[in-house]
Chains A and B, each alone.
Chain A
Amino acid sequence: MSIVRKVVKEIEKRKALTAILLMLFMMLFFDTRFYTAYNLLDMLNSAAILEMLAFGVTLVIICGGCDFSIGAMMSLAGIITIKLMDHMPLGPAICAAVACGALVGFINGFLVVKQKTEPFIITLGMGMLLKGIAQQITDAHPVPAKNLSYMKIANGKVLFGIPNLIIIMIVMLLLFYYILRYTPFGRNCYAVGGDYHVATQSGIRAERIKWAAFVICGAMAAFCGVLLSSKLNTGSSIYGDSTALSVNCGCVVGGTSFAGGVGGILQSFIGLLAIQVLENCMNMLGISAYVQKVCEGVIILLILWFDNYAQKRKKEAV
């Protein structure tokens, strides 16, 4: 293979990273506050919660599924925590919220793995249901947190002035990376998503693995919901409305394809980061919010289109 083809192949493997580098390069030519420590740190901070959401979903996507209830779960978890805060200390309240997330994940997993329903539509329905519950509990009004120390969790800077969120994100990143790369569970996720049948024949308990992935994803979504409501010190049922689509697709951008069995934490991280960087760039360039939304939508569409097209070309190899 000639040098050119090799380079192209490498770039193709790292689309998201290339996109980020291109954008970083491009922003050098514009006179904006993009390249300030404040902006860069702020960008990472805003991305942190979504990134952690992506870590959980990555597990599910690698197993060959997807989860579109994460947005609603996020908002519900925040609401649950804030409501429970009035009756119990912070710690248990947070644990209860995360447990709810795990429960929802358990139900999702049951429907997808045991009942073999289509994960996309069933988690979409679940999201609708969760949103309804969230609206019911709060009567569709934002609920402020009464415990002031709650805000400090997400907004504090405990270590050397680095925002807590970024530290938590790094911890989660390392944790999930380790799980996916160095534990039997993680490796088996790849097997289950890569070829369910072969995995089962090799003695892997594919059903349990996939089910567990959903549970972890749900718990993670709840955890992120806690962080989000801590950051804004409010719980609201409108948080997380379009999150599910952008997070799931962010993973795909980075290389964690819906086909299953490929990708990983780093890929999802970079993929979602690319979308965040894009948003930030567009903000800095003064592009209106609506144009941004259209751009994001078109980009997501293109990603999905290419993901499918690549699979089509593989099949039709004449």
Chain B
Amino acid sequence: MDRQLSDVILSVEHVSKAFPGVKALDDVSLQVGRGVVHGIVGENGAGKSTLMKILSGVYTKDAGTVVFDGQTIEKTTPMESLRRGLSIIYQEFSLISSMTVGENIFLGRFREAGGMRGTHQKAKELLEQIGSSIHTGSYVSELSTSEKQMVEIAKALSFQSKLIIMDEPSSSLTEEELAKLGDIIRQMRSGGISILYISHKLDEIFEYCDVVTIMRDGHVIDTRPVRELDRREMVGMMVGRTIENEYPERPHFVGEPLMKVEHLTTNKLKDISFTLNRGEILGFVGLVGAGRTEIVRAIYGADKVKRKEIQIEGEAVKIMSSRDGKKCGIAFVPEDRKQQGLVLPFSVESNISMANLKKLKKGMFLSPDKERKMAEEKISELLIKTPSPASVIVNLSGGNQQKCIIGRWLETEPKILIMDEPTRGIDVGAKYEIYMLMKKAVEAGSSIILISSELPEVLNMSNRVLTIADGRITGEFDPEKVSAQEIMNRAIG
């Protein structure tokens, strides 16, 4: 890119950041011009959010240089970043619901703003600047998503921001609200403010952005002016990759229909219906927030629903709680293993046996021998690395912890095994072992619903893939026949 120094507001050069087990950013470089709307696209895990957090000061980079407005930035804090003129608007917003609009805009700057009166007056002026008529005395809890966004933008303007990072700004906005946002973005651009527009919604990238950077697996694939690209090319860059993970041969044990889900409806899900076949691995592909986890939790009974009809093996079942779901032969490996799956202070064998306590009974009591045996079986079957079955599970690595949870559920001999992000935060070797476990499970007659944000994983392991977007099933594909690009396209919506 041939630009003069003063034309560039942000320069990121060779930045890397690694977390235990995963390299989130690998030698990332990009430049954002002044008064430019710069889009960043990439699927889940591409590194967008890590980059954002480094820029705003939440994380510290491991290597590379960041230059903002002519100043080299090493370590920084969120507040310093704001003062420098770099604002970030998170998808979940950084607002305090129990306080008023005016106060949120000037949070922590009460005196600067001129007390209560000054706060509300200045807030009103800022909101008027972007054409918003929100009353500054309203509480944030009363606002719609679009209105909250306006407040965040006003907040950014109050710092005289030169660069505003917007993370998935259009989620939960109606078309009208999105159009209004677009106007504001254009207004800010002509005022010389740069916007970093992070989104999956390719339509919006084409509509509002001048330049776009495509990221994948922690790398920058390319940065190009938007008018030089088309949608197909963009999706291609997002998904095309060299195979890094190894996958076992795709299992082929698919039989007749096992479970039928119909009219599943909640606040978020809109009349979901699908079938799961025996011995099948059914993959759910979609963006974060599309509703994949909500679907499986609703099926299992962990969440309340407005409506759902489930048939298992031809018979209608009533599932009102997790207990019911388990009784119907469903197993659930949750997304957040630390908070929802593991009992960290307990031993490996307790964690494995906790869904199988009935099996441990010898007469009226639980038999420690049976528990030990169950654990030892699973440890050898699943190649769990632990000093002993009595070791406290918090000391095991993520991969081995996950295997314990999977082992726990395999012990219940489930008909349907739901796995939500089963290989998240796990090294390549352990991942392969888990794939083999999945294969064994379907071989033994179970069916699996697999949710994963790693597209290659879902595509390589599933017999069939459903794409989910905005609470709806938008497509059904055979991954052997359809390209990753097409599937992703449908998942983006």
Contact = CB atoms under 8 A, between A and B. Distances in A.
Do A and B share a direct contact in the complex (Cβ within 8 angstroms)?
Answer: yes
Interface of A: 181-184, 187-188, 190-191, 193-195, 198-199, 201-204, 261-262, 316-318
A202 B306 CA distance: 39
A191 B94 CA distance: 12
Contacts of A317: 267
Given A195-B96, A204-B107, 18 more contacts: A182-B115, A183-B110, A184-B110, A188-B110, A190-B98, A190-B99, A194-B96, A194-B97, A194-B99, A198-B96, A199-B108, A202-B79, A203-B77, A261-B96, A317-B267, A318-B266, A318-B267, A318-B303
Nearest to B266: A318
A211 B127 CA distance: 35
Given A184-B111, A202-B107, A316-B304, A194 B98 contact: yes
A202 B98 contact: no
A258 to B, nearest CB: 13
Contacts of B236: none
A204 B108 contact: yes
Contacts of B96: 190-191, 194-195, 198-199, 261
Nearest to A205: B108
A181 B120 CA distance: 13
B313 to A, nearest CB: 28
27 contacts: A181-B116, A182-B115, A184-B111, A187-B103, A188-B108, A188-B110, A190-B96, A190-B99, A191-B96, A194-B98, A194-B99, A198-B94, A198-B95, A198-B96, A198-B107, A199-B107, A201-B79, A201-B94, A203-B78, A203-B108, A204-B108, A261-B98, A261-B99, A262-B98, A318-B266, A318-B304, A318-B306
Nearest to A181: B116
Interface residues of B, number: 22
A249 B99 CA distance: 22
Interface of A is mostly: helix
Interface of B: 77-79, 94-99, 103, 107-108, 110-111, 115-116, 266-267, 303-306
B305 A191 contact: no
Nearest to B155: A202
A107 B135 CA distance: 42
Contacts of A195: 96-97
Contacts of B95: 198
Nearest to B94: A198
Nearest to A186: B110
B108 A191 contact: yes
Contacts of B99: 190-191, 194, 261
Given A190-B98, A198-B96, A318 B107 contact: no
Contacts of B78: 201-203
Contacts of A182: 115-116
A318 B305 contact: yes
Contacts of B304: 316, 318
A287 B103 CA distance: 47
A190 B140 CA distance: 13
A81 B68 CA distance: 60
A274 to B, nearest CB: 22
A39 B98 CA distance: 38
Contacts of A204: 107-108
Contacts of A261: 96, 98-99
A24 to B, nearest CB: 30
A191 B133 CA distance: 24
A198 B103 CA distance: 13
Please name the 4 residue pairs, one residue from A and one from B, whose CB atoms are nearest each other, closest first. A203-B79, A194-B96, A261-B98, A202-B108
A217 to B, nearest CB: 20
A204 B96 CA distance: 13
A204 B305 CA distance: 40
A201 B87 CA distance: 12
B431 to A, nearest CB: 32
B297 to A, nearest CB: 12
A262 to B, nearest CB: 5
Given A198-B94, A198-B96, A203-B79, A191 B267 contact: no
Contacts of B111: 184
A191 B107 contact: yes
A182 B108 CA distance: 13
Contacts of A194: 96-99
Contacts of B303: 318
Contacts of A181: 116
Contacts of B108: 188, 191, 199, 202-204
